[in-house]
Amino acid sequence: MIKLQNIEKYYAAKGLKSYILRHVSTTINQGEFVSIMGPSGAGKSTLLNILGMLEEPTYGTYEFMGEDVTSLNERKRIELYRNHIGFVFQAYHLIDEMTVAENIEAPLLYKKIGSAERRSRVADMLDRFNIVGKKDLFPNQLSGGQQQLVGIARALAAQPSIILADEPTGNLQSAQALQIMDLFKKLNEEENITVIQVTHSEVNAGYGSRILHLLDGVIKEDVNLSESLKP
Amino acid sequence: MFKLNLKIALRNLWKNKGYTLINIAGLSVGMASCILIFIFIRYQLSYDQHYAKRDRIYRVVSYWKYAAGEEFSKGVPMPLVPAMRNDFAMLDDVAALQRGGGVVKIKDQSGNVRLKTTETTYYVEPQFFKIFDYHWLQGDPQKDLLAPNSVALSEEMAVKFFGDWHKAVGQTFNYNNKTDLKVTAVFADVPENSSNPIKIAIAYSGYVNRNQKNWGSVTDNSECYILLKEGQNVADLEGPKAAFIKKYYVEPGTGKADHFFQPLADVHKDPHYGNFSRKTTAMKEIWGLAIIGIFLMLTACINFVNLATAQAVSRSKEVGVRKVMGSRRRELMLQFLTETITLTVLALLIACVITEATLPGLAGLFKEKLSFSLIQQPVILIFMICLVVFVGFLAGFYPAMVMSGLSPALAIKNKVNVGNTGGGALRKILVVVQFAITIILITGTLVVLKQMKFMREKPLGFNSSAIALPDMPGDSLSILKYDIVKTRILNIPGVLSASFCNSPPSSEDNTFTNFAYAGTKDADFQVNTKSADQDYFKTFGLQMIAGRALSKSDTIKEYVVNETLLKKLNIVHPQEAIGKMIRLGDHNTAPIVGVVRDFNNMTLRESISPILLFSRKSNSQTLAVKMDIRQIPEVMKNIEQIWNSYFPDNVYRSVFMDENINQYYESEQIMGTLFKVFASVIIFIAFIGLFGLISFVATQRTKEMAVRKVLGATTFELVKMLNTSFIMMVFIANLVAWPVAYIFISQWLSRYTYRIDLSIWPFVTAMLISMLVTLLTVSLRSYRAARTNPIDALKYE
């Protein structure tokens, strides 16, 4: 599904190149649950952003479902992105001026989905995450965990084939964090949605099937948990 | 404290360079326009204000009420002056002022003509100089301007005639090839802003018509000024005036005559009467300009308020910290006001530069001598100080109040957002007001320009192109040469036809006279009389609809009338009128031989008058020459040559018919130019304000836009989102502006008898222009905002 070849990313400052990513090559298949780990500044978020098409690599090729992303124009890229990718942030990034239901509906509007279909999908999401009673509240009236639930619901509403999560539990208490991670695992297993998360937590990484360890922009280790756990 | 405030103010202005630039640009352009308008209005109001007794000086003007309308004249009947002097006890002085003009010839010592020129002259009674305190360089008008043929010159004229004003007194010059006038006094030049631009003052005792006794004959050239006794009220003149009119207006006339006492301050401002300087600025126009000035200032202030309240968010932390440190609200407000005033002063400096640079343009447009000198006119300095204080407080007070009122707890936690700085709704209202003003001006401009085009292109009923109008001397000796001059001019190749007349078909110089149609009783309206020879109709391309044109004659033998005259007399078929007798004035009875198709005899502001055409050689002192359009320069040279060879004692002067007509609409042209300029200024101010506001909104909504982008919004969708609210505001502004603009415009158009139909197009065009520019401004800025990488916005939450 995702194929990275020799991805490099650097910023040139005063003639000096400061590398964020170097020679990153990997393949991620449909249905995997990948955790990207590493110390601060290792390039985790940048890698995630490149995967999510929010940033472009300086060098290298990125194939997403067989299409070379780096050579696509903006319109096509957004098209691809809209239909397949859902983002979840550490700071939730809900739109403050919109209610819970409206936040979930927002990506559907951009996908030009009819209003009946939109309503049913939003209702479906609210139902699934048990937040029907909160649908008319504004983000600042919710707890952090609830906000992140809305964030995930919003990402899922568009029915993506992959969810990219940037430290999704970083701002949450541990009980709420576990709940979120369970949810990701469930989505991964039951709906075959690919999940890629950036995390600092070994516990969170343990929910996944594979861990990419990044250090100074280089993949140091690629651990397949499902295999290594096998006796 | 103030020094610190100022320092911080400057630092803050520097920090937010973009907003500072927008604010200063808008404010300085607005202020410059205001200063220009102020200078102009002050100049207009300064007319005739340099006389010590100005509050007691009045001009006597005449007014007639007819069954079908009314008439105004700044002149008075000749016998009125001595009569008033005799009958009114509350007056210190009464003085006649009679305008004339003619050829002035100055000979050198050997008797050769050294200088020949046409000059406007005034016959002045010495009392005039008791009313108006002229500064006399030499001589005393009360002694030296009594004898006939004595004359006083202004310094400028004395220098022009004799090289040095010190040498002028005692010299003589020849006037109108008849009298020799002796210079007895010299006075300092009358300032430009004077309604009586007297340069040559001839003793009134030498004026030939001074003893005329006819109360029914009035020309605009005979004015009368009075000086009220100190402590008297002009209203108290009403009683004596009624008795006065009853006493002297004994003969029954066509209309009811009356006189008014017009304050000196109104002489320049009442276009009904006009004045000798031929410059009037109606109070309405002055108010119109003042309102435009206020509008401009208001839009600039709105920019300021909008940007300042919008910026409040980014200043909230500073406010919080200051409050925690113990600053009181008053001190904070003071600080913000210091900032505003600093900005305003900076804008004022730039405004001064703009004013200085554009003043010559304004002066040229109005043909006035305007100057921007703070030392000579300290009132301008005072105005500017007032402007700074006014703008500073108008623009600064509200934002200062909002910002100083922020809660410190929220402010410190950075929890202040656009919502709770208030101002959101107010900002919207202000933007709507601003755009409504802009749209009113755009609509006005479009209509003014359209009406001007209409007037330029409307067929007048006669052909005015390629016609020259050289003046002919009117003395009996010259009249004898008229025929030969005309024959000679007709022989010039390129001259198509020529006609002697007293005025072209359309003229600002019209004579109205009583007449009687087919009977003895005078009609209840007057006719515009035009004397013209047999070639008049051919020269101007006038069309007959019944009968024939005038035949050759030196005196009144037959009449041609226009359609309007027949209509007013209720004659349906033009043929009916042919052969009927008309008596013009007291005698001159002759038959109607033709009816001419209506042509516009005045400006398009007025409707067509009833007109009577006849031949009378002694009245026809203008020669209309129709030329081949390709040969105008050569023909004009030839005409001048022939003219000079026949009338060597006179000065040749000629105008083109087209230019004459264009002059009617000078005030419209000025108005059109002003509207164009001020509309552009206001569009500029409104749209840089909009740009500032959208910049701010885009910054404020960066996070939201980034989130939306992550959710899959395209750049186009984001630009559309930001545009919608602004387009909505501009649309509402249109709805507000239309009725107001409609009222203004229809009022202005009602001045014109011939006017365009007010269609919906100017309004629609104004809407399209405003919407388009909004779209462009907002898109330009929001495109940049929407293009930014969402990651940059979301990274550091």
Sheet strands side by side (includes A33-37): A85-88, A162-166, A194-198, A33-37, A210-215, A218-224
Interface pTM (ipTM) of the complex? 0.70
- pLDDT of res. A194: 94
Instruction: Sort out which chain B residues have CB atoms less than 8 A from A168's CB and list them.
Output: none
3-state SS, residue A36 = strand
B706:A95 CB<8 A: no
Q: In the prediction, which pLDDT does B4 show?
A: 67
Q: Phi, psi (5° rounding) for residue A218?
A: -120, 140
Write out pLDDT tens, residues B707-733.
888 887 888 888 888 888 889 989 999
pLDDT on residue B797: 44
Scan residues 380-439 of B and list those with Cβ closer than 8 Å to A. 417
d(CA B202, CA B703): 83
CB contact under 8 Å between A106 and B711, yes or no, is yes
- Please tell me the distance in Å from A156's CA to the nearest CA on chain B: 11
Q: Are B708 and A87 inside 8 Å of each other by CB?
A: no
Q: What is the pLDDT of residue B639?
A: 92
- Distance (Å, rounded) from C-alpha B215 to C-alpha B61? 14
CB contact (8 A) between residue B714 and residue A74:
yes
> Is the C-alpha dihedral spanning A48, A54, A57, A60 positive or negative?
positive
CB-CB neighbors (< 8 A) of A111 in chain B: 712
- Answer for the pair B450, B671: CB distance below 8 angstroms, yes or no: no
Cα separation of B344 and B349, whole Å? 9
Q: Which residues in A lie closer than 8 A to residue B793 (C-beta atoms)?
A: none
B706: contact with A, CB 8 A cutoff: yes
Nearest CA in chain A to B713: A110
Q: Is a pLDDT exceeding 60 seen at residue B420?
A: no
Give the pLDDT confidence score for residue B585 in this predicted structure: 76
Tell me if the domain spanning A2-228 has CATH number 3.40.50.300: yes
Q: How far is A167 from chain B (nearest CA, A)?
A: 12
Instruction: Give residue limits of the domains in chain B.
Output: 54-267, 472-652
Q: Give first-to-last CA distance, chain B, whole Å.
A: 37
Which of A113-122, B223-232, B430-439, B580-589 shows the lowest mean pLDDT across its residues?
B580-589
The C-alpha atoms of residue B695 and residue B157 are separated, in whole angstroms, by: 62
User: Does the pLDDT at position B781 exceed 50?
Assistant: yes
Q: Do A74 and B711 touch (CB under 8 A)?
A: no
Lowest mean pLDDT among B64-73, B279-288, B418-427: B418-427
Among A152, A105, A162, smallest CA distance to A128 is for A152
* CA of residue B695 relative to chain centroid, distance: 41
Does residue B796 carry a pLDDT above 60? no
Nearest CA in chain A to B716: A75
What's the pLDDT at B413? 56
Across A67-81, B35-49, B190-204, B410-424, least confident range: B410-424
| B794/A93 touch (CB, cutoff 8 Å), yes or no | yes
Q: Does B713 touch chain A (CB under 8 A)?
A: yes
Mean pLDDT across chain B, nearest whole number? 85
Distance CA B721, CA B591 (A): 79
pLDDT on residue A231: 43
In the beta sheet, which residues pair with residue B200? Answer: B153
**Contact between B712 and A75 using a beta-carbon 8 Å cutoff:** no
pLDDT at B390 over 60: yes
Are A54 and B790 in contact (CB < 8 Å)?
yes
* pLDDT classification of A27: cutoffs 50, 70, 90: very high
User: With contacts defined as CB-CB under 8 Å, which chain A residues touch B706?
Assistant: 93
From chain B, pick out residues whose CB is under 8 angstroms from the CB of A107: 711-712
* Token pair for A149: 């639930």
pLDDT the model gives residue B468: 92
Asked if B712 lies within 8 A of A95 by C-beta distance, the reply is no
B352 contact partners, CB below 8 Å, separation of at least 6:
B32, B35, B372, B384
User: Residues B114-121: what's their mean pLDDT?
Assistant: 86
What residues of B are in contact with residue A81 (Cβ under 8 Å)? 712
Q: Residue A50: closest CA among chain B residues belongs to which residue? A: B791
- Closest A-chain CA to B797: A91
- pLDDT tens per residue, range B534-570: 899 999 999 999 888 888 888 888 999 999 989 888 8
Closest CA to B380 of B25, B670, B46: B46
Among chain A residues, CA nearest to B701: A95
Amino acid (one-letter) located at B220: D
In this complex, the residue of A82, A94, A95 whose CB is nearest that of residue B712 is A82
Name which of B470, B479, B788 is nearest B623 in CA terms: B470
CA distance B696 to chain A (A): 18
Q: Provide the pLDDT for residue A230.
A: 43
B716 touches A: beta carbon within 8 Å: no
Predicted local confidence at residue B416, as pLDDT: 56
Task: State the nearest Cα–Cα gap between A151 and chain B, in angstroms.
Answer: 11
Spell out which residues of chain A touch residue B791, defining contact as CB-CB under 8 Å: 49, 54-55
In whole angstroms, what separates CA B196 from the centre of its chain?
18
Give contacts of B714 with chain A, Cβ < 8 Å.
Answer: 74-75, 78, 110
Q: At what angle do helices A144-157 and A115-128 cross, to 10 degrees?
A: 140
Six token digits for residue B299? 């839009």
Interface contact B708-A110, CB threshold 8 A: yes
- Number of neighbouring beta carbons within 10 Å of residue B19: 22
pLDDT of residue B409: 62
- pLDDT of B419 above 60: no
pLDDT recorded at residue B220: 80
From chain B, the residues in CB contact with A75 under 8 A are: 714
Query: If you write DSSP's letter for every residue of B324-373 in order, what string do you get?
Result: HTT--HHHHHHHHHHHHHHHHHHHHHHHHHHHHHHHHHHHHHHT------
Which tens digit of pLDDT belongs to each residue from B603-635?
887 888 889 999 988 878 889 999 998 888 999
Best probe of the A interface among B711, B716, B789, B795, by most A CBs < 10 A, is: B711
CB pairs under 8 A between A and B: 50
